[in-house]
Amino acid sequence: MKNIYSLIIIVLGTMIFLSGCRHDDGRAGDYYYRTDMHDQPSYKPQQSPRDPVEGTVPVTGYVMEIEDSAMANRLQNPIGQNPENAELSRRLYNIHCGVCHGAGGKGDGTVTPVFQTPPDITTGRFPDVTDGYLYWVIRDGIGIMPSYYEHIKSDERWLIVNHIRSLQGE
Ligand code: HEC
């Protein structure tokens, strides 16, 4: 009878000891004597996906670095100025640029009393800069003007460039 108690104590003791065992990945608790089905290369629920292989191109296309104005000047405006997109171009300009540059592009937007006055982009050297240059300024910002890389899509930047051209023509 005494031996039976000793045996129970040993079995219980071993179970308690094993319940504290940890797996290689740090999980505590249940002790599995075989883990080969669990530890396998397949992806677990909630696990983040694999990193893409080096050189992978996103489905939305590759975003090119524009390193300097010479490179910007080589960009071709793929969206021509036309009466159909003129209204959209004007609205995009007013939403994103007008607050500083003014609706007419003269640098007299509503925030200018408390912010550095931007240049008049309808005169001076601006009629002579390329569309690519204006696109680059919108995309990457210049001086203290912020970049609109995240906020304005590529085709919308070209539409805004078109609207600056029409302001310069006025
Ligand atoms: C927060 C105010 C602000 C907004 C919004 C803003 N700009 Fe500017 N922009 C400036 C300031 C200030 C400068 C002068 C930057 C400098 O020289 O440091 C400038 C400069 C420029 C220039 C002249 C670049 C050169 O070669 O000197 C162009 C072109 C221009 N902005 C276009 C735009 C367009 C297009 C938008 C809208 C997508 C826009 N800006 C939105 C403040 C703004």
Lookup: tokens for 148: 């609109």
In this predicted model, what pLDDT tens digit does every residue of 52-68 receive, in sequence order? 899 888 887 778 899 99
Q: Decide whether any atom of ligand 1 lies within 6 Å of the 96 Cβ.
A: yes
Mean pLDDT, rounded, for 93-106: 97
Query: Does the pLDDT at position 81 exceed 80?
Result: yes
Contact 79, 162 (CB under 8 A): yes
Gap from CA of 57 to ligand 1 centroid (Å): 31
Q: Decide whether any atom of ligand 1 lies within 6 Å of the 139 Cβ.
A: no
Q: Decide whether any atom of ligand 1 lies within 6 Å of the 78 Cβ.
A: no
| pLDDT computed for residue 42 by the predictor | 82
Asked if residue 42 belongs to a domain, the reply is no
The residue nearest atom 12 of ligand 1, judged by CA position, is 118
pTM for this entry: 0.75
Mean pLDDT, rounded, for 18-28: 63
Contacts of 2 (CB under 8 A, 6+ apart): none
Query: Does the pLDDT at position 149 exceed 90?
Result: yes
SS3 category, 135 = helix
**Looking at the structure, do residues 103 and 161 belong to the same domain, yes or no?**
yes
**Looking at the structure, do residues 139 and 82 belong to the same domain, yes or no?**
yes
**Looking at the structure, do residues 79 and 18 belong to the same domain, yes or no?**
no
Angle at 136 between CA 90 and CA 150, to 5 degrees: 75
Cα-trace Rg, the chain = 32
Unique residue bearing structure tokens 């640098």: 107
- Number of structural domains found in the chain: 2
Mean pLDDT, rounded, for 92-107: 97
**Looking at the structure, do residues 108 and 159 belong to the same domain, yes or no?**
yes
Q: Which domain holds residue 23?
A: 1-37
| pLDDT computed for residue 95 by the predictor | 97
Q: Which of 42, 21, 43, 16 is nearest to 32 (CA)?
A: 21
Other beta carbons within 10 angstroms of residue 85's beta carbon come to: 17
Residue 155 and residue 24: Cα distance in Å, rounded? Answer: 51
Residue 89 and residue 131: Cα distance in Å, rounded? Answer: 14
Query: Does the pLDDT at position 147 exceed 80?
Result: yes
Asked if residue 147 belongs to a domain, the reply is yes
| pLDDT computed for residue 57 by the predictor | 84
Q: Decide whether any atom of ligand 1 lies within 6 Å of the 167 Cβ.
A: no
Query: Which residue out of 145, 151, 163, 166 has the highest number of ligand 1 atoms within 8 Å of its CB and is therefore the one to mutate?
Result: 145
